[in-house]
Amino acid sequence: MSAKNFDLVIIGGGPGGYVAAIRGAQLGMKVALIEANHLGGICLNWGCIPTKALLRSSEIFDLLHRLDEFGLSAKDINFDFKKIVKRSRDVSGQLSKGVAHLLKKNKVTVIDGWGKLAGKGMVKVEKDGKAVDEFIGKHIILATGARARVLPGLEPDGDMIWAYKEALVADSVPKSLLVVGSGAIGIEFACFFNGLGADVTVVEVMDRVLPVEDEEISAFAHKAFEKQGLKIITGATVTKLDKSKTNVKASIKTAKNEQQITFDKVIMAVGITANIENIGLDKTNVKVERGHIVTNEWLATDEPGMYAIGDVTAPPWLAHKASHEGVICVEKIAGQQDVHPLNKSNLPGCTYCTPQVASVGLTEKAAKEKGYKIKVGRFPFMGNGKAIALGEPEGLVKTIFDEKTGELLGAHMVGAEVTEMIQGYGVAKTLETTEVDLMHAIFPHPTLSEMMHESVLDAYGKAIHF
């Protein structure tokens, strides 16, 4: 077996790896991409995309039960859960084939197997435990991603206790469900199953749901979730899960008491763990801290010629961060002159719960802790004509500015379609827009985006419709 030479070898075909591979090929590199499971990675196959397909079904089902509000009626509204799951899997399958097509179009060599570092610039590939090939890469990018974090004693068993994979392909909607963790993954599954009729309880160890979000947005979302029927217990830990053949008894401990509640199923959504095992890091100078690979601003590790991108590196763990890092990394390797390091404060975050939550930049608390004297603007959905016409009057847009310079420090939203609107503020931050620029921008009417304008105006006492 003779090793094959490439300019760039990438281990992992998720949203970081495959984007890096395509960009590398566009810049004239000979690129090899090694993927052990599915092109598109967890995001496309078992995360971002299939969950959105599931949530869409749940949202439509909920809307059908509100038809009377719109002067409409229908009888015998129901759902076929297996078809809902099948549609979700079909969406992922279609997009995975699309990634394969893009890689082929860009002449990227795709290798099916497990990539492992095996010395200076060398990567060995195994399939089903057997060696299948060797590759030499002038540059190597590690894009191995992450998997669901497992808590000792609370391990998913694939039957009564689920991780995200089991939740995505469930056979039916459980009558009662415990979701452990209220980050994006946990709260999205909670909203999905709740929307289809499950009795859902969410347990969060922090003192509020969606703990990385602005406190005001988090509190608004909490009330909206409870209004929909979600039971939420914050400042709590699940200390034990006792399984039987038919249910799971959970011991839930708070500062005040410990109670036992029985559920049909449990979803564990307590974060992720980077895939750093069995990829040959022990033979390198790659530094690992807190379970994740350490890189510099150009995604380079301490091992010459080796880089890391995406969920295997430091947070935030977002697909669009991984893709952007892939482009930055490859363009820097290629010697491009207009490459800029990733500015994490310009990274939008989205949670596709009901109502949706989206944010970019500093929260109000973080801005104050950094010493900024701030101006804060707010605008409620109930003051927006399009939101009312859509039957979606519950929500809030919040903007935070540096009082001294007018710099947009952060923007935070909760409500219908805010995951689509947040990029407006993302572009504004990237362009270092001030409040004056945003005030002078003309927003079309009637749109939800008008609330973004009004929130900016409100920060400076100029709001028209509130």
Angle (deg, nearest 10), helices 17-26 and 81-105: 30
Q: Mind listing the pLDDT tens digit for each residue in 332-365?
A: 999 999 999 999 999 999 999 999 999 999 999 9
> Strand 176-180 vs strand 31-35: parallel, antiparallel, or unpaired?
unpaired
Mean pLDDT of 69-77: 96
Q: Which helix (H) or strand (E) holds 32?
A: strand 31-35
Q: Mind listing the pLDDT tens digit for each residue in 126-166?
A: 999 899 899 999 999 999 999 999 999 999 999 999 999 99
Q: Mind listing the pLDDT tens digit for each residue in 264-300?
A: 999 999 999 999 999 999 989 999 999 999 999 999 9
> Alpha-carbon distance 361 to 355, whole Å?
20
Q: Indicate if 412 belongs to the active site.
A: no
Q: Which helix (H) or strand (E) holds 237?
A: strand 237-243
Mean pLDDT of 412-416: 98
pTM given for the model = 0.95
> Alpha-carbon distance 340 to 327, whole Å?
10
Residue by residue, DSSP assigns 146-210 as EEE---TT----SSSEE-HHHHHT-SS--SEEEEE--SHHHHHHHHHHHHTT-EEEEEESSSSSS
> Alpha-carbon distance 392 to 69, whole Å?
11
Catalytic residue among 440, 445, 453, 465: 445
Query: Domains in the chain, ordered, with CATH?
Result: 4-148+273-344 (3.50.50.60), 161-270 (3.50.50.60), 355-459 (3.30.390.30)
Query: Looking at residue 204, what is its pLDDT?
Result: 98
> Alpha-carbon distance 373 to 15, whole Å?
38
Number of CB atoms found within 10 A of residue 220's CB: 23
Query: Looking at residue 2, what is its pLDDT?
Result: 54
DSSP class of residue 305 equals: T
Please state the length of the chain: 466
Distances (CA, A) of 416 to 93, 158, 393, 395: 28, 33, 8, 7
